[in-house]
Structure 1
Amino acid sequence: MDLDTDDVGVTNRARSLSATPPPAKKARLADEDDDGHGAVAGPSSAPSTAKGGSSNQAQKGKGKKRKIRRPPPPEPGSSEDVILRDVIDLLGGEEAVKKLKAEGKDWESPLEKFQILEVVVDELSSNGEAIARVPLTISPNPWAILVPFALPGETVRVRVYANVRLHSLADLVEVVKPNEAMRDDNLVRCRYFGTCAGCQYQMLSYDTQLQLKQRVVEKAYKNFSGLPPSLVPPILPTIASPKTYGYRTKITPHFDLPPVARRKDSDDPNKLPIGFGEKGRRKVMDIEECVIATPVLNQALPGIRENVRNKLHTYKRGATLLLRDSFKRPDNDESSAVPADTNSDAPPQADSEVPADAISVKPPTATTSEQDGEAHVCITDYKATVREHVGNTRFEFPAGSFFQNNNSVLSPLVEYVRDAIFTAATPSPSTPSSLTHLVDTYCGSGLFAISLAPHFEHVAGVEISQESIASAKHNAELNSLPPPPSASPTPAIQTKTLTFLAGKSETIFSSVSHFPSQNTVIIIDPPRKGCDKLFLQQLVAFKPAKLVYVSCNVHTQARDLGMLAELMKDVGEGKETYVIESLRGFDLFPQTAHVESVAVLKLAQSDA
């Protein structure tokens, strides 16, 4: 699961097709990732919430109406694509948009830059931003406004700052008439909420957040799968995170370095913002704490910020910092550290979780804090070893590599996947007792392969990153896998082989061709872009008995399962197909709009 888009980054919404930025080249805090996450008011302050109304008369700003720059179409399944689909649905669907396009009006905004107007919010987008239709008194043609930090049914005053295809992007100036059934500003814990691009949902109850995320999964399969409704089961309720604040085990604050700040005699280095992206602006805002980050990270953050400012003259450009929560190594732990390239000062590989401009704060700042009875430290060197526990399973990996950022929900996630594999809700070509082989594609440092190994005889994990494979092999040894025959007198399953292979997932099936497909489960856990057609073609040719698709981007997941259904029509005269047994969201990032999705499929006889 690729969550870089769930880290806060700097956005350039004026040049984007939507208010939610595309997958960033920098790692971000809270898709994400991305994922970015966030809701913002104006560029200078959070919006006010006021009862009562004001004139609906649109106030025109002094800015001149500008021709809209027409970028290429958004990448399918990207944040821009998701927003555009939500906008099209609100404006009346594809037919209404085709009419606008035929008239050359899909890029013709009725609003001027800096124009202020009042609108009533219709709904929330899948990315957590409010969508409202422009009143007919202003425009006879369908046009939408995207504004953060507002809720359905609210009357809000907004200020337009950009126009894109079919909609305008706006800052929230004021909530004129709040949705009191949804909004509770007393729930907000963060002083930066409404300006920082990190969270969207702090003003909502947690139950409401979970319901919204369930709706995101529903819309994704409606808009992106191409599957008839009869083939999509009801979306199950979203699994909650045990922690809703203080859960995030990695943050990546960053800073931009203007020329004057590089000088040794700079007036005041404390003026340099070190933090996360301001919502809707290409600007870093100064952040002293992050309430969704774990306590040890917040404890370490002030010292790291001071360290950077004290050495500001040594930096040639801005950079991204790394703070990662790790269990402290016990004094009696003699296990060796996970292999890492400690001789290189180069930043992490492009496929790692930390961006290419990442720097290590040396010496690494280590702070201990007691959480849940365990000692934690803050790791700031991307080459240092991070230690995590998922249930009774231990994991170690370099701080710059990928691992999920909400430890509290990982045990429920692994248990859910395990139970889904061995649940025989309906007859299938393979009974639960015959599922003896597991292939974990995009395995990372071995989360699923190692956690589920005790339930299979033969397990293989594949990952393109050599560093991650080294971590996975190390973690298998760390957990004594495969166990010796005497490890358990009466094991339900004796794991005989556990293999990790470095290579592209698109070619994984040639390396596991000896696995009997009728006894094999495949876990798919790709990055945000999802699977490519070559991978799905090889998957169809292999025809495993069961599939579990874990996704950090439910929209590309829905697209892939639609493609899978089409590819199955060309195999074996279309006599077999994959039936979706269940679809469910997991909330790995409370207070944000992001939702993970788990789809469970089985091979079955086709009704066609």
Structure 2
Amino acid sequence: MGKTTKKRRGPHPTAKAELDVPVRVGQTVEVEITGLNHEGAGVGRIEGYTLFVSGALAQERVRARVEHVKKNFGFAKMVEVVEASTYRALPPCPLYDRCGGCSLQHLDYAEQLRHKQQIVRDNLRRIGGFQVEGEGAITVHPTLGMSDPWRYRNKAQVPIGEENGALVGGFYAEKSHSIIDMEACMIQHQANDEAVAVVKKLASELQIRAYDEQRHTGLLRHVVVKVGVKTGEVMVVLVTTEEEIPQRERLVEAIRGQVSGVTSIVQNVNPERTNVIFGKKTVTLWGSDVIYDYIGPIKFAISARSFYQVNPAQTEVLYNKTLEYAGATGTETVIDAYCGIGTISLFLAQKSRHVYGVEIVPEAIADANRNAELNGVENVTFEAGPAEVVIPAWKEKGIRADVIVVDPPRKGCDEALLATILEMQPERVVYVSCNPSTLARDLKVLAERYEVKEVQPVDMFPHTGHVESVALLVYKGF
């Protein structure tokens, strides 16, 4: 037994004495909240120990139940508001306290926008080492929000399961894979809700079994719905474990008859034991392979698996700001790293001499070329491959970029790409970011030769903790 005890990797997380922290799991504490973290949880301190309290707001005193403790911080769930913030709002969604989708519905929307601006400022100061106040500071503009911050999402990805023998579909409870059955989501486009409800009803009627991820049994894993907000076209994607769908013809006919605006019904087959939604095989069961939508004047073809921004109204705001920061007048050569399906590239092409887009995913480049052809845009060139490899090859061919635009995933830019940018020395760099922490980290690297002029936060995902930003950098030698 002594040997077993010695092999223990660390103290039990609930043991107050071993961890030497002032709280324990299950304890209810009263704490004053001084701020919000990037996920929207309240930040409080007990005897100097940081406690993140979900559901709490800055300038509140709350009672909270401790749920998890670590050496330097812990997590708690709010039980009662003792003294409420003047910015506290009543969440309109009846499932708000159970669903993990929206962490900020209880915060007044104008204050959400201010909070997101502050998140960007804090990351620039803390991670990037930038000055954000006083003379010589980077200008971080107020967050650009929506006049109506509801029903903005054009894509729903709804897991399907069974509960007490009945089929359920909704979103996962916070930090779990427990499905919260729902008929409506207040940030989803109504067309998405309607299509998901129809498929759930039809699957029940036709006795199509839902997927059980624990047992790896059943057929219907997810229902994915995409809507072209400007065109009204709807795509329904059935993600299944097998190719064979019982009574498939009846199901397809019923979807056609009951989902308004449907122009595409697609099946994606994913037989793997995985949390990844899509499998490798996609088949169109009826209608078109794609639906169409517009961002500004640019038309895009959207397939079942292609990436497309989920908030097209705010995407137009973001891309117009990107175009403004690029400073294009019609004579510039622009490189768009991480170009995806060409969304930013085609926007930039409106006012540039030529745009070169690079993306590591070949399927996305195929979509980008299709979208360029769709819009009759000829002053773009797309190439598949790693940006840090393709861009130097372009340089060897004599291509000199006046502007480089980057829009990387949450992990930020590859180090080799940052080195390539510093070597190519374009007059301007425009950095589009979905993660303020990696934005700050990468800007710190680029600041070796570039002045970070300003940063514009954009609220792409109202009522969540996420914030998009676009930053303008100007070469110090110009």
TM-score band by shorter chain is 0.7 to 0.9
CA change 1:379–1:156 in 2 (3 A) is farther
Q: Does 1:195 align with 2:98?
A: yes
Residue in 2 that maps onto 1:285: 180
CA change 1:313–1:601 in 2 (3 A) is closer
Q: Is the 1:441–1:524 Cα contact (8 Å) retained in structure 2?
A: yes
State the distance in 2 between where 1:273 and 1:170 align: 29
Residue in 1 that maps onto 2:477: 605
1:233-289, CA deviations, whole angstroms, 9 ceiling, x for partnerless residues?
Answer: 1211111135400100112121456xxx7xxxxxx432x542222124453222221
Structure 1 portions without partners, runs of 5+: 1-65, 70-103, 137-141, 262-267, 332-336, 348-360, 370-374, 423-431, 483-494, 569-576
State the distance in 2 between where 1:155 and 1:394 align: 50
State the distance in 2 between where 1:238 and 1:446 align: 25
Pick aligned residue for 2:350 from 454, 458, 463: 454
Q: Does 1:400 align with 2:305?
A: yes
Letter in 1 for 2:472: V
CA change 1:434–1:401 in 2 (3 A) is closer
SS in 1 for 2:462: coil
Residue in 2 that maps onto 1:130: 42
Q: Report deviation, 1:161.
A: 1.4
Residue in 1 that maps onto 2:226: 324
State the distance in 2 between where 1:346 and 1:393 align: 36
Pick aligned residue for 1:510 from 392, 404, 411: 392
Residue in 2 that maps onto 1:472: 368
SS in 1 for 2:94: coil
Q: Does 1:578 align with 2:475?
A: no
Task: Indicate the larger mover: 400-409 or 313-322.
Answer: 313-322
TM, length-normalised to structure 2 = 0.81
Q: Is the 1:580–1:599 Cα contact (8 Å) retained in structure 2?
A: yes
SS in 2 for 1:274: strand
Pick aligned residue for 2:78 from 172, 187, 190: 172
Q: Is the 1:226–1:559 Cα contact (8 Å) retained in structure 2?
A: no
Q: CA RMSD in A?
A: 3.2
Letter in 1 for 2:100: A
SS in 2 for 1:559: helix
State the distance in 2 between where 1:449 and 1:155 align: 48
State the distance in 2 between where 1:363 and 1:583 align: 47
State the distance in 2 between where 1:515 and 1:437 align: 12
Letter in 2 for 1:407: P
Residue in 1 that maps onto 2:192: 297
Q: Is the 1:506–1:538 Cα contact (8 Å) retained in structure 2?
A: yes
State the distance in 2 between where 1:67 and 1:583 align: 44
State the distance in 2 between where 1:434 and 1:515 align: 19
State the distance in 2 between where 1:255 and 1:233 align: 46
State the distance in 2 between where 1:190 and 1:150 align: 17
CA change 1:467–1:295 in 2 (3 A) is same
Q: Report deviation, 1:522.
A: 0.9
Letter in 1 for 2:196: L
State the distance in 1 between where 2:230 and 2:263 align: 6
Letter in 2 for 1:115: Q
Q: Is the 2:339–2:345 Cα contact (8 Å) retained in structure 1?
A: yes
State the distance in 2 between where 1:151 and 1:106 align: 31
Q: Report deviation, 1:177.
A: 2.1
Q: Is the 1:328–1:377 Cα contact (8 Å) retained in structure 2?
A: no
Residue in 2 that maps onto 1:146: 52
CA change 1:295–1:118 in 2 (3 A) is same
1:51-81, CA deviations, whole angstroms, 9 ceiling, x for partnerless residues?
Answer: xxxxxxxxxxxxxxx7139xxxxxxxxxxxx
Letter in 2 for 1:147: V
Residues 484-499 of structure 1 mapped to structure 2, 5 A cutoff: 495=379, 498-499=380-381
CA change 1:562–1:106 in 2 (3 A) is farther
Residue in 2 that maps onto 1:157: 63
Q: Report deviation, 1:434.
A: 8.1
CA change 1:510–1:241 in 2 (3 A) is same
Q: Is the 2:330–2:352 Cα contact (8 Å) retained in structure 1?
A: no
Point out the structure with the larger strand share: 2
Residue in 2 that maps onto 1:12: none
State the distance in 2 between where 1:312 and 1:346 align: 11
Q: Does 1:562 align with 2:444?
A: yes
Residue in 2 that maps onto 1:311: 208
Q: Report deviation, 1:202.
A: 1.8
Residue in 2 that maps onto 1:410: 315
Q: Is the 1:324–1:379 Cα contact (8 Å) retained in structure 2?
A: no
Pick aligned residue for 2:324 from 410, 413, 419: 419
Pick aligned residue for 1:241 from 132, 146, 149: 146
State the distance in 1 between where 2:152 and 2:232 align: 22
SS in 2 for 1:523: strand
Q: Does 1:225 align with 2:128?
A: yes
Q: Report deviation, 1:587.
A: 0.5
CA change 1:209–1:515 in 2 (3 A) is farther
Residue in 2 that maps onto 1:592: 464
Q: Report deviation, 1:506.
A: 2.0
State the distance in 1 between where 2:471 and 2:231 align: 36
CA change 1:127–1:329 in 2 (3 A) is closer
SS in 1 for 2:105: coil
State the distance in 1 between where 2:217 and 2:456 align: 43
Q: Report deviation, 1:603.
A: 0.8
Letter in 2 for 1:474: R
Residue in 1 that maps onto 2:411: 529
Q: Which has the higher contact order (CA 8 A, sep 6+)?
A: 1
1:292-324, CA deviations, whole angstroms, 9 ceiling, x for partnerless residues?
Answer: 000101111212223444311676447343122
State the distance in 2 between where 1:202 and 1:292 align: 11
State the distance in 2 between where 1:407 and 1:153 align: 34
Letter in 2 for 1:241: M
Letter in 1 for 2:362: Q
Q: Report deviation, 1:478.
A: 0.4
TM, length-normalised to structure 1 = 0.64
1:141-161, CA deviations, whole angstroms, 9 ceiling, x for partnerless residues?
Answer: x21211111111212111111
Q: Does 1:120 align with 2:32?
A: yes
SS in 2 for 1:239: coil
The alignment covers a number of residue pairs equal to: 427
CA change 1:380–1:322 in 2 (3 A) is farther
Q: Is the 2:434–2:469 Cα contact (8 Å) retained in structure 1?
A: yes
* Percent pairwise identity: 29
Structure 2 portions without partners, runs of 5+: 1-10, 243-249, 269-281, 283-288
